[in-house]
Amino acid sequence: MITVDVRKRLGSFSLDAVFAAPSAGVIAVFGRSGAGKTTVINLIAGILAPDSGRISVGDTVFDDTAARVSVPPERRRVGFVFQDSRLFPHLSVEGNLRFGLTRAPAADRPLGFGPVVDVLGVGHLLGRRPQTLSAGERQRIALGRALLAQPRLLLMDEPLAALDGPRKAEILPYIERLRDQFGLPIIYVSHSLDEVVRLADHLVVVSDGRVAACGPMGDILSRLDLQPLLGRFEAGAVVDCVVAAHDDRYRLSTLVFDGGQLRVPIVERPVGEAVRVRLRARDVALALSEPTDVSITNRLPGTVAGLAVRDGMFVDVAVRLGGTTIRALISQESQDRLGLRIGLPVWALVKTVALDNRSLGWLRRTGAV
């Protein structure tokens, strides 16, 4: 487990963060700007020292103010990837990558140069200088350098914040490959729900220097009480699916889950592979009976499981579909007109075109370390 129980004051800002998460997979630290996300990982990295508290990763204690334990940053074996790549301009790509190797003893290098280069797809860039690379390429090199330092934990602080949409789409698959192939725990800081839903297994929500929630991604996103922190129009549910079929004629894929199936734009994954779909509450409509003369293909029978009024005019509706709960954001007028109440049977309607690439993430592949 990764456990954090710390206090830290920086000027007028005060952090009091307490959470525990599995030391495997991707742990996302999510919150708005100024919430305290970067302070949390700077404390884990040892860049900052806590005023009081304790931080541990597995059996290793990084900080324990009561026991006067404080491991120096260079001995924590923590890799750090920042918003900007921070590559050495006087070194080639290969030189930057091999610099990471020099930070680890020769006898303790489980991650080899070749495998890291292959996973990141940067073999053709080795002879170039950082200033000749695109922003996305520079971040891939920064990832590789951090990995080759042989960390026990990888920290990523808003690594895609400085990139535009196409560059983000370029980098995300590489982070997924790192997650799947190397089995290295990653703490991923972001204010983008799209990113964390696609990548993370566990979610820590930070607000005003406090941890508001911590738990598995699907559990946290399904909580109606967290909607103000997740964003009125960004909240929703995460559904774990399996690719069931591809329709080449219409360029659509069929995904099945515990509660139904979804037709989505073609998924470049083989039949049988696990994928994750984010259903935004704003993209889900409700009906009392199954409509047959509408263009919406995804029509899912379910039951109202919860209702919460938002901002005096919206209603967040939890809908149970078999073993899965999704959410719909509707107007209070619509709730009154439909007479929605807990236990009422309804049909959840989801437009196929709403489920674009930003809604899809690849779960850890079977057989990955």
User: In this structure, is residue 368 part of a structural domain?
Assistant: no
Tokens at residue 363, please?
A: 């779960």
pLDDT digits (tens, 9 = 90+) for 175-223: 888 887 777 889 999 988 888 888 888 999 999 999 999 999 878 887 7
**Neighbour-count burial for 276-293, b at 16+ CB within 10 Å, e otherwise:** bbbbbbbbbbbeeeeeee
pLDDT category at 23 given cuts 50, 70, 90 is: confident
Q: Are 173 and 141 in contact (CB under 8 A)?
A: no
User: In this structure, is residue 242 part of a structural domain?
Assistant: yes
pLDDT at 358 over 70: no
Q: Provide the CATH number for the domain around residue 170.
A: 3.40.50.300
User: In this structure, is residue 196 part of a structural domain?
Assistant: yes
The predicted pLDDT at position 368 comes to: 34
- Considering the domain architecture, whether residues 170 and 22 belong to the same structural domain is answered as yes
pLDDT digits (tens, 9 = 90+) for 290-346: 998 999 999 999 999 999 887 778 998 999 999 999 999 999 999 999 999 999 999
- Considering the domain architecture, whether residues 12 and 148 belong to the same structural domain is answered as yes
CA-based diameter of the chain, in Å?
A: 70
pLDDT at 35 over 80: yes
Looking at the chain, the whole-number percentage of residues with pLDDT higher than 90 is 56
Q: Are 81 and 139 in contact (CB under 8 A)?
A: yes
Which residues have a Cβ under 8 Å from the Cβ of 114 and sit 6 or more positions away?
none
- Considering the domain architecture, whether residues 189 and 278 belong to the same structural domain is answered as no
For residue 11, what are the domain limits? 2-221
User: In this structure, is residue 38 part of a structural domain?
Assistant: yes
Which residues have a Cβ under 8 Å from the Cβ of 187 and sit 6 or more positions away?
2, 26, 27, 28, 29, 41, 44, 153, 154, 155, 156
Interval 102-119 mean pLDDT? 79
pLDDT at 365 over 50: no
* Total domains, the chain: 2
- Considering the domain architecture, whether residues 150 and 299 belong to the same structural domain is answered as no
The predicted pLDDT at position 219 comes to: 83
Q: Provide the CATH number for the domain around residue 314.
A: 2.40.50.100
* pTM for the full predicted model: 0.81
Least confident span in 8-17, 98-107, 145-154, 241-250: 98-107
User: In this structure, is residue 369 part of a structural domain?
Assistant: no
Distance between CA 104 and CA 79 in Å, rounded?
A: 11
pLDDT category at 47 given cuts 50, 70, 90 is: very high
Interval 136-157 mean pLDDT? 90
User: In this structure, is residue 134 part of a structural domain?
Assistant: yes
The predicted pLDDT at position 357 comes to: 67
- Considering the domain architecture, whether residues 82 and 210 belong to the same structural domain is answered as yes
User: In this structure, is residue 350 part of a structural domain?
Assistant: yes
- Considering the domain architecture, whether residues 133 and 195 belong to the same structural domain is answered as yes
The predicted pLDDT at position 230 comes to: 79
- Considering the domain architecture, whether residues 167 and 302 belong to the same structural domain is answered as no
